[in-house]
Structure 1
Amino acid sequence: MALVATACGDGSTSTTAGSAPADVSSSCPDPSGALVTKAKKEGTVVMSGPPTDTVRQQLPKAFEQTYGISLDYIGTSGKDNAARLQSERQAGIYSQDVFLGGADTMANTYHAQNWIAPLTGVLPASELDPKGWRGGTVPFVDADKKILSISKYVSVPIVINTDQVKADEITSWKDLLDPKWKGKIATIDPRSPGGAIYNVGMFQAADGYGDAFVKQLYKDQKPILITDSRQGTDDLAKGKYPIALGLGQLDVDTAADDGLPVKVVMPDLLQTTSGFGFLAVSDKPPHPEAAKVLAQWLACPDGNKAWNNAYGSISARSDVKPPADLPAWQVPQDGVDYFNTNSWEFLTKGVKDATELIKSLIGSN
């Protein structure tokens, strides 16, 4: 899936209201309803999300064309936005209405700091109907129902350079322990912010793997630690190393679509995640009515589809089909036992345990 876009200066994008409302699904906010009418009087809504060019360009435009409300989009990392919010809130400033972020930031910062409100007071009954979601369960992450997973997909497991590795050479994570791969495996540093630490947690939880395997892979095999997925994907394609772990879905998809010699191989352990697809609303939104419209739109079929198409992801809704150009392996399949990186226990305890283990093996970064 090739997504080509340009960055926007300071990471903030806004649209100008005035377009005619588009047709909307019956379960989405009514463009001529009372809520939207009140939201228009607020003039705008502010949302933070991933620093992804296609999201920056497409999502504000789609929302504004539907509801005639300007969307000020702040594209930034979870870590940077959390620091920004911390500074602002200490000064009594509340600048953002809606958040789309990663699991760790949402659970261990936004939720832990009580920066977000229960979505049961924001979303209508139609969006809280389990029938509308995959697996027949509304995918709240926490018991307080403040964080909703609106995307769900299989994480990129192992990526190889096809000029250097045959696909059938890697069918299990344990194949990476072959001495010939020592010092030749690149991995996003699991100590850095993001989902690379999830692999460690998956190994800890899996029968036949555990802490011993983590030591063998991350210490004894002397992997190359990298921090930038896009650069890592480019280096893999250039043959700087034959195998890479923890790369981003969009970077790998784009490289493959460009005809570069990279291929995802499917080992014995897989995990599901949501990436930046966790929705929350501020406990003190500066534009409360517009915040409700935006949150409801992102959770309903139309806005959920717009978000996932722009992000290059898969909807957690049962009535939104995956983009046709996404690889089939990225779609979670019924009957497959995936490691669930969205579980509250893992996010609030397992991530910490995995981080402590990896730091004990390779040191603090």
Structure 2
Amino acid sequence: MSEQITMENCCEYLCTAKTQTLGELEAKVYRFLSDNFLRVLRESSVYGRLTGAERELILSLRMRGKESLIVAEISDVFERVGSRESSRPESPLSTASLDERCGMYYYSSDYKDWKILTKIPEEVNTKGCGICTMYNYLFVAGGIKGHGDASRVSDKVFCYNPMTDTWSEIRSLHQPRAQLKLVSMDGYLYAIGGECLFTVERYDPRMDRWSPVAPLPKGAFAVAHEATTCNGDLYVSGGSLFYRLLKYDLKRDEWQECPYNNSRKKSADMLAYKNFIFRFDVNREQGVNVFKYNAVLKMWQQCASLQQANLGAFKCALMDSCIFCVTRSQLLQFSVEEGKEHFVNGSFKAPLEARGVLHPFTLHLPNNK
């Protein structure tokens, strides 16, 4: 019976398991609901019948695996030669020519090496896309399809489910976006800005719907910007915003100007830890300067630096109170222990197979990884 669990009969099986005290079947139903959490959210006939405790249980089961550092190989938005282009239909997701596509790699602590997690389907636009995680799913939004004169900006949004190792397409953005920032906060996705765009939209996974929210202030459209969340607020900085820091007030649905950062250098990335936002500014000749913003006291200060010329572009991910900064050739570690922030001595290589820009993030992977 447990092998026949579907979205249509899962509630019936769960009721049977509870009534007849079939613990093994009950556990398998909960695992099925957990493995397909995004679909469950959209099915009111299923999610609406679950108790609050059951909803918390199936969400916690999605985190049952070990948290792992993962990098997605992303096409450089400025590439014009050798970029991927496909004339295949948008769905179902292609499974052909796996070896020719960008991949996702996870760091195996057992083997002390990078392992392939999955190939990214051709339909997923990785050039100039936005990436973030939510509910232990990876979401990829927007980007540029094709190259040269045939290129076009995409409104497509895809997600990867590590518990089932599958890709699927969700509701498209209202506006096609490239060089956007995608951020998750309080169970919603936010697609922020993009090339020549002030607009911001929010995705509700329960309704499978994108809705507009307050646009960025005039004169602050975001290209190659950075975004993060801290204490329930959304922050945007860098890129065409230079040293400015904007905060989105969810209750008022408006953007507010925060104190400026003294740095005038290009921002590589920005992440939050506890009450602090860490911004990594790059100088090609000198290296990296790290500034932190106290979101409570509303104050900036420089907290660390790394003297390394020609470091190149990098993106960051937070795991275990450590920020991992990933370039094409190496992975740096930055400790965010309060008052003792510093770059950890030594580094290890990024995946050797990857040829594109590497975008790091974390997911909880099944125990067989």
Specify if TM > 0.5: no
TM-score bucket of the superposed structures, by smaller chain? under 0.3
Greater relative CO, 1 or 2 (CA 8 Å, sep 6+): 1
**Greater fraction helix:** 1
**Greater fraction strand:** 2
